[in-house]
Amino acid sequence: MEVAVTHLQRLEIRLTGRAFVGYRARDGWRQPLQFYAFRCPVHGYVEDYPHGYAGRLECPLCSPGDPSGPLVTDGGAMVDGLEAVPVRA
């Protein structure tokens, strides 16, 4: 389930680690959240919303028990677990 990204978004992902794709709302949410596209080394380009105070992006296709690849990206740097360190801008 790879997300279609434009050439400009691919450049933004290479430079910053993510690219804004729009606001999305799921059932049960009070309001829409910002969704970003980013590159998972296992599944390619995927999209997700920022999680936690650090705003980490988790690949929705990777599971926490899946040892085949990283689960979390934080500003373009891949982190091997859920213990992501916030990156200051």
Least confident of 2-6, 13-17, 39-43: 2-6
Instruction: Give the model's pLDDT for residue 73.
Output: 52
> What pairs with residue 51 in β-bridges?
56
Q: What is the mean pLDDT of residues 19-44?
A: 92
Q: What is the mean pLDDT of residues 46-73?
A: 76
Rounded to 5 degrees, what are φ and ψ at 66? -85, 110
Q: What is the pTM of this model?
A: 0.69
Residue 24 in tokens:
């999305």
Do residues 50 and 56 touch, judged by C-beta distance below 8 A?
Answer: yes
The larger pLDDT score, comparing residue 1 to residue 10, is at: 10
Q: What is the pLDDT of residues 35-55, one digit of tens each?
A: 999 999 888 999 999 988 988
How far is residue 30 from each of residues 15, 24, 26, 27, 85, measured CA to CA in Å?
32, 11, 9, 9, 28
Domain definitions of the chain by residue range: 7-79
